[in-house]
């Protein structure tokens, strides 16, 4: 049994996430976690809300709430929606947890002692109108790299370049809109990433088979321009992990907190501690400390492309720099962007379909299937309502749903709600089993390598193979001449439904559970030998015809949703 530690990029707290966020991180991570569990491996799947930093403060201010209350509420909301989507986290933590505060401060001390954190005096944007320094997203302006006009103080959303507020052209305060900003002297802690450049590059070069998207972004930040830059890791904010605390080996950082990108990835570790302290597990160190059993853990991270620099460089810099035996990531699965109907999804601009709205109009499986089968892997992808309607209707309703419905209803009307006996399998059945064996092994290969779209294609082909078999065998015609032969065909087809439930569970867990319950079986074992897997339900085994598994999306619904989601969410 292998051991898989799986983390999804932690969703930011400033609102409900959109479908792009979902498919770029949590959903494919869930697919992988469910698959590895189904294969009998030990899995620890962690996610959390990312709660610190300026956007949280800004969102709380907008909602007229205290930031701590705002985050607590939004965390619960996000947790409920995640559950609604069937995201099977072993724990959904919070980066604002006491565990993360303690661990973040401990890392900072270790890095300081290793000579990798330095205090620097610097000039920073100060807004006399607002009476405060303006870190990160408290400033917007034009990106010096690409000319995008709404670049934020910490990163340009358009070209992904990490920025410092002082880099922006025509900067303005996002609090007041003030442009009379001035530079004032202040002190901050810096993480000396440049000292770790060689070590990081060497480590990245030894990673095998990483997606090109992952390594190309990492290499770019390592080598472009003057190479990997030291990074300010404190901010003038109240909300966050205090940078001045008992035992801190530096002074004068009162009123400052660690930068959100310093503490957020540390939450991957702290979350495991939260998991134990919530009574769900008994040992977090065997997942995270290579000196305490984590040596045989395979650690996989999932995220969208804008998060790659932090996971390939900043977080590994924290870990390597600490000199302590923490587990480093083995594989980073990164995604391009999903766009929405001719433009970008955007939380701040309220553009697109958000997770809560999606669940209001259709069950999670419809979304899971579409999103995963169209995951933005090799390039950006686009959500359109037409495409969504076509895929759902074709794949889920016409192929899988129809197969299940035809087989179970036919059996009920001609035999009973019981797997029929009689007849035997011939050449057509052997050919189907051979095809399935090949396809299932291919499916496993794609799931192992996290080729999400290819996995979906293979699963669809497995469903189609059943339909084609049914079409050719035509038990409704066979029945008239040879009821025993029809019984054998239906016996096989009913067993195929159980097999589909097993194979499809990582993609569409709710429908899969419905199939298991209709087939009246607890046998969810992953198929080894196909013939054996297709004999799990013996003649005489009771089943029931399931309720309509998937409904088709009508043109009227599609047009209705198209209109409803064309605007901006207020
Ligand atoms: N359109 C998108 N398509 C795919 N992944 C995305 C998209 N937008 C964001 N992501 C990913 O979603 C995950 C969660 O993102 P996060 O909550 O930090 O929001 P974000 O990156 O600020 O995006 P936004 O501002 O649009 O909400 C991250 O891994 C991010 O890379
Ligand atoms: Zn830019």
**Atom of ligand 1 lying closest to residue 302 CA:** 29
**Atom of ligand 1 lying closest to residue 18 CA:** 27
Expressed in angstroms and rounded, the spacing between residue 9 Cα and the centre of ligand 1 is 9
pLDDT value at 568 more than 80: no
- Give the full edge-to-edge strand order of the sheet including 343-344: 343-344, 338-340, 381-383
DSSP bridge partners of 122: 186
Rg of the chain on CA atoms, in Å: 27
DSSP string, 181-197: -EEEEEEEEEE-GGGGH
Candidate from 8, 24, 137, 341 with most ligand 1 atoms within 8 A of CB, to mutate? 24
- Spatial neighbors of 526 by CB under 8 A, at least 6 apart, are 38, 39, 40, 502
Residue range 493-506: mean pLDDT, rounded? 98
Q: What is the pLDDT of residue 506?
A: 98
Pair of tokens at residue 14: 């400033």
What percent of the chain is modeled with pLDDT above 70? 100
DSSP 94: E
**Atom of ligand 1 lying closest to residue 306 CA:** 31
pLDDT band at 54 (very low <50, low <70, confident <90, very high): confident
Other CB atoms closer than 10 Å to residue 569's CB: what's the count?
16
> What ipTM did this prediction achieve?
0.94
Residue range 338-358: mean pLDDT, rounded? 92
Expressed in angstroms and rounded, the spacing between residue 354 Cα and the centre of ligand 2 is 25
Expressed in angstroms and rounded, the spacing between residue 158 Cα and the centre of ligand 2 is 5
Q: What is the pLDDT of residue 570?
A: 62
Segment 57-76, tens digit of pLDDT: 888 988 999 999 999 999 99
Among the bound ligands, the one closest to the CA of 143: 2
Mean pLDDT, the chain, whole residue set: 95
pTM: 0.93
> In angstroms, rounded to a whole number, what is the distance separating the alpha carbons of residues 27 and 88?
10
Q: Phi, psi at residue 92, to the nearest 5°?
A: -115, 100
pLDDT band at 46 (very low <50, low <70, confident <90, very high): very high
Among the bound ligands, the one closest to the CA of 8: 1
How far CA 206 is from CA of 201, 215, 331, 478, in Å, comes to 9, 11, 11, 59
**Atom of ligand 1 lying closest to residue 11 CA:** 17
Nearest CA to ligand 1 atom 9: 21
Annotated binding-site residue numbers = 143, 146, 156, 159, 347
How far CA 567 is from CA of 349, 466, 570, in Å, comes to 10, 42, 9
pLDDT value at 382 more than 80: yes
Least confident of 81-85, 115-119, 211-215, 508-512: 211-215
> In angstroms, rounded to a whole number, what is the distance separating the alpha carbons of residues 346 and 569?
10
Expressed in angstroms and rounded, the spacing between residue 304 Cα and the centre of ligand 1 is 6
**Atom of ligand 1 lying closest to residue 21 CA:** 12
DSSP bridge partners of 6: 45, 300
Residue range 290-307: mean pLDDT, rounded? 97
pLDDT value at 302 more than 90: yes
Nearest CA to ligand 1 atom 31: 304
Among the bound ligands, the one closest to the CA of 163: 2
Nearest CA to ligand 1 atom 12: 21
Expressed in angstroms and rounded, the spacing between residue 464 Cα and the centre of ligand 1 is 34
Residue with tokens 């103080």: 153
Pair of tokens at residue 297: 């853990």
> In angstroms, rounded to a whole number, what is the distance separating the alpha carbons of residues 238 and 242?
8
> In angstroms, rounded to a whole number, what is the distance separating the alpha carbons of residues 486 and 423?
8
Neighbours of ion ligand 2 (CB under 5 A): 143, 145-146, 148, 156, 158-159
> In angstroms, rounded to a whole number, what is the distance separating the alpha carbons of residues 284 and 42?
13
Q: What is the pLDDT of residue 266?
A: 98
The beta strands (E) that lie in 176-233 are given as 182-191, 231-232
- Spatial neighbors of 174 by CB under 8 A, at least 6 apart, are 58, 134, 137, 138, 139, 140
Expressed in angstroms and rounded, the spacing between residue 201 Cα and the centre of ligand 2 is 25
Among the bound ligands, the one closest to the CA of 381: 1
Evaluate whether 44 touches 87 at the Cβ level (below 8 Å). Answer: no
Ligand 1 environment, Cβ below 6 A = 9, 11-12, 17, 20-21, 23-25, 303-304, 306-307, 335, 337-338, 345-348, 376
Expressed in angstroms and rounded, the spacing between residue 163 Cα and the centre of ligand 2 is 9
Domains of the chain from N-terminus onward: 385-533 (1.10.730.10)
Least confident of 7-21, 155-169, 269-283, 314-328: 155-169
Evaluate whether 172 touches 185 at the Cβ level (below 8 Å). Answer: no
Other CB atoms closer than 10 Å to residue 232's CB: what's the count?
19
What percent of the chain is modeled with pLDDT above 90? 85
């Amino acid at each position: 049994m292998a051991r898989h530690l799986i983390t999804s990029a932690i969703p930011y707290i400033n609102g409900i996430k959109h479908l792009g966020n979902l498919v770029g991180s949590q959903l494919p991570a869930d697919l992988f976690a469910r698959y590895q569990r189904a294969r009998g491996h030990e899995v620890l799947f962690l996610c959390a809300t990312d709660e610190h930093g300026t956007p949280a403060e800004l969102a709380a201010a907008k909602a007229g709430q205290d930031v701590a209350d705002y985050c607590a509420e939004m965390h619960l909301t996000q947790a409920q929606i995640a559950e609604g989507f069937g995201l099977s986290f072993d724990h959904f933590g919070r980066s604002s947890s006491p565990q993360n505060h303690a661990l973040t401060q401990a890392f900072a001390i270790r890095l300081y002692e290793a000579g990798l954190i330095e205090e620097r005096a610097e000039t920073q944007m100060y807004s006399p109108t607002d009476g405060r320094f303006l870190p990160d997203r408290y400033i917007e302006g034009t990106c010096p790299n690409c000319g995008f006009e709404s670049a934020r103080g910490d990163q340009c959303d358009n070209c992904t370049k990490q920025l410092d507020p002082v880099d922006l052209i025509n900067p303005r305060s996002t609090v007041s809109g003030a442009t009379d900003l001035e530079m004032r002297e202040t002190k901050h802690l810096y993480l000396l990433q440049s000292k770790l450049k060689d070590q990081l590059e060497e480590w990245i070069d030894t990673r095998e088979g990483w997606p090109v998207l992952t390594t190309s972004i990492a290499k770019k930040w390592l080598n472009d321009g003057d190479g990997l830059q030291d990074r300010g890791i404190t901010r003038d904010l109240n909300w966050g992990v205090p940078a001045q605390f008992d035992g801190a080996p530096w002074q004068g950082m009162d009123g400052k907190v660690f930068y959100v990108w310093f503490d957020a990835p540390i939450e991957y570790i702290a979350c495991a501690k939260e998991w134990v302290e919530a009574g769900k597990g008994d040992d977090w160190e065997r997942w995270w400390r290579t000196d305490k059993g984590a040596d045989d853990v395979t650690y996989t991270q999932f995220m969208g492309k804008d998060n790659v620099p932090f996971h390939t460089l900043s977080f590994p810099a924290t870990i390597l720099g600490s000199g302590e035996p923490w587990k480093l990531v083995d594989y980073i699965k990164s995604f391009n962007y999903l766009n929405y109907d001719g433009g970008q999804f955007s939380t701040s601009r309220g553009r697109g379909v958000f997770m809560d709205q999606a669940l209001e109009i259709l069950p999670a499986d419809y979304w899971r299937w579409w999103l995963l089968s169209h995951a933005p892997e090799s390039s950006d992808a686009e959500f359109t309502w037409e495409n969504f309607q076509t895929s759902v209707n074709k794949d889920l309703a016409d192929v899988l749903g129809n197969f299940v419905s035809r087989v179970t209803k036919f059996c009920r009307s001609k035999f009973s709600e019981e797997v029929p006996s009689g007849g035997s399998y011939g050449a057509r059945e052997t050919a189907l089993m051979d095809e399935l064996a090949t396809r299932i092994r291919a499916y496993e290969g794609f799931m192992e390598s996290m080729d999400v779209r290819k996995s979906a294609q293979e699963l669809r082909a497995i469903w189609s193979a059943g339909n084609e078999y049914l079409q050719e065998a035509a038990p409704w015609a066979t029945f008239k001449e040879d009821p025993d032969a029809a019984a054998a065909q239906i016996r096989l087809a009913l067993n195929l439904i159980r097999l589909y439930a097993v194979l499809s569970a990582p993609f569409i867990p709710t429908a899969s559970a419905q199939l298991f319950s209709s087939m009246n079986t607890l046998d969810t074992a992953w198929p080894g030998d196909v013939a054996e897997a297709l004999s799990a339900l013996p003649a005489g085994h009771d089943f029931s015809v399931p309720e309509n598994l998937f409904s088709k999306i009508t043109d009227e619904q599609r047009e209705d949703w198209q209109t409803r989601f064309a605007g901006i969410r207020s």
